[in-house]
Amino acid sequence: MFKYLAGGIRRPIIRQFPLCSSLVRRNHTLEYEGLHPLLVQKAEKLVKEHDDLAEDISSGEHGFDTGKATKLARLSAVVERFNNYKKAQQEFEELKALLDDPSLKGEAESEIEEAKSTLETMAEVLQNQLVPTNPFIDKACMLELRPGVGGSEAMIFANDLLNMYKNYALKNGWPHKVLSISTTPTGNGLTEAIFSIDHPGSYERLQYEGGVHRVQRVPETESKGRVHTSTAAVVVLPQMNESSENMEEAEREFAPGEVRMDLMRSRGAGGQHVNTTDSAVRLTHIPTGIVVAMQDERSQHKNRAKAYMVLRARIAEKERIEKEEEERKKRTDQVTTTNRSDKIRTYNYSQNRITDHRCGFTAYKLEEIMSGEKFDEVVDAMDSFAKTEAMKQLLYDEK
């Protein structure tokens, strides 16, 4: 019989029974090192920050502050998990003390093994909460794709990447749509595209896709069978508002005069409607110089809404990157980053191989990855690498 303690660890209700030698384990299997001391130090700082913030809010001196309340709720979840972890760790030590009693050693050893496993799981979850994460991980996302070097082959590759992300969204059942696209005359390549995945949390899964993607393959137009190298650029943006149709809300985010809007006539396909109305919209954010143009919709209202949606996303991502760079400059030692670096990944078609140069992931299943079926393997490898690097940086910062 057992009783349950904090953290889900089961502890035996002590009873006498003969020692069973078959249950004896080597001592090293009963050891548990626990969280890294610097992580414990980080958690204890958060506990103090939580307590100070809770006292400040309860005093009511500064009135109700939504930002403080949200921060307190976030800290409360971490503090509760840390307190449960400490209780479970204490109970683990109490179980180990039972090893000194020959009549309880056998049962204690079997319980310690299970308790150790539970502690390791709790520590892993807590560790992930202590490591800083991207502030937009719960957001839906947008991907901007453009061809790089390589001419028409680069345009075809950019379209292949767009199809890969479409396939991945379909595999996961995520709602998605192409917000804007400019294709080549043949239709098999693109010069620019903005792809929206309207599923909360999709940004977390695709946040590391930003950067230069490189392809090595024999183009269909190559008569001598030579391998060509081309590139395409991907930018990943968080969706900052729930709907691209909510234009009024998007516009209210900006101060008067902060955004200049120009109306133009649409160019390209569109039948009789083309060049008859000023439906195309171009927004210029004066403080940053960011420009967004949208003309895919026949309605000026819809183009305007989409443009504001993209503008907000670009500004938010720019501010996030600038903040990270500012924090990084304060450090004397730098850990490898997962920001958009040059040539983040290579797609080698002749070898059916895909390689991510940041985390060292390599797989000989290019077709399955491009179809979306095995794309999670690439995402998981990069996610694991990013968390490891974030942990290194956290440990450095806590020194």
**Per-position DSSP letters for 224-271, written without gaps between them:** S---EEEEEEEEEEE--SS-TT-HHHHHHTS-TTSEEEEEE---SS-G
Helices (H) and strands (E) in the chain, counts: 9, 13
Give the pLDDT of residue 251.
56
- 3-state class of 196 per DSSP? strand
Q: Are 238 and 137 in contact (CB under 8 A)?
A: no
Q: Are 369 and 381 in contact (CB under 8 A)?
A: no
Rg (Cα) of the chain, in Å, rounded?
27
Distance CA 239, CA 179 (A): 12
Tell me whether the CATH fold assigned to 141-241+337-397 matches the one assigned to 259-331: no
Give the pLDDT of residue 249.
52
Q: Which of 146, 133, 248, 247 is nearest to 195 (CA)?
A: 146
Furthest-apart CA atoms within the chain: distance in Å:
94
Give the pLDDT of residue 219.
85
Please give the structure tokens belonging to residue 149: 């070097």
For domain 259-331, the question of CATH label 3.65.10.10 is answered with no
Give the pLDDT of residue 397.
66
Give the pLDDT of residue 241.
67
Give the pLDDT of residue 250.
54
As a CATH number, domain 141-241+337-397 is 3.30.70.1660
Give the pLDDT of residue 143.
95
Exposed/middle/buried for residue 32 (C-beta within 10 Å: 0-12, 13-18, 19+): middle
Q: Is the dihedral of CA 370, 375, 377, 379 positive or negative?
A: positive
Give the pLDDT of residue 193.
95
Give the pLDDT of residue 56.
87
User: How do the domains of the chain map onto residue ranges?
Assistant: 37-130, 141-241+337-397, 259-331
First to last CA, the chain: 45
What are the distances in angstroms from CA 289 to CA 64, 246, 258, 286, 306?
36, 23, 10, 5, 18
Per-residue pLDDT of the chain (399 residues; tens, 9 = 90+): 333 333 333 333 333 323 232 223 334 344 556 777 778 888 898 999 999 999 888 887 777 777 788 788 888 989 999 999 999 888 888 888 888 888 887 787 878 888 888 888 888 888 877 877 777 888 899 999 999 999 999 999 999 999 999 999 999 999 999 999 999 888 889 999 999 999 988 999 999 999 999 999 998 777 677 889 999 999 999 988 644 444 455 555 788 889 998 888 766 544 444 445 678 899 999 999 999 998 878 888 888 888 888 898 999 888 888 877 776 654 433 333 334 446 899 999 999 999 999 999 999 999 999 999 999 999 999 998 988 888 777 766 655
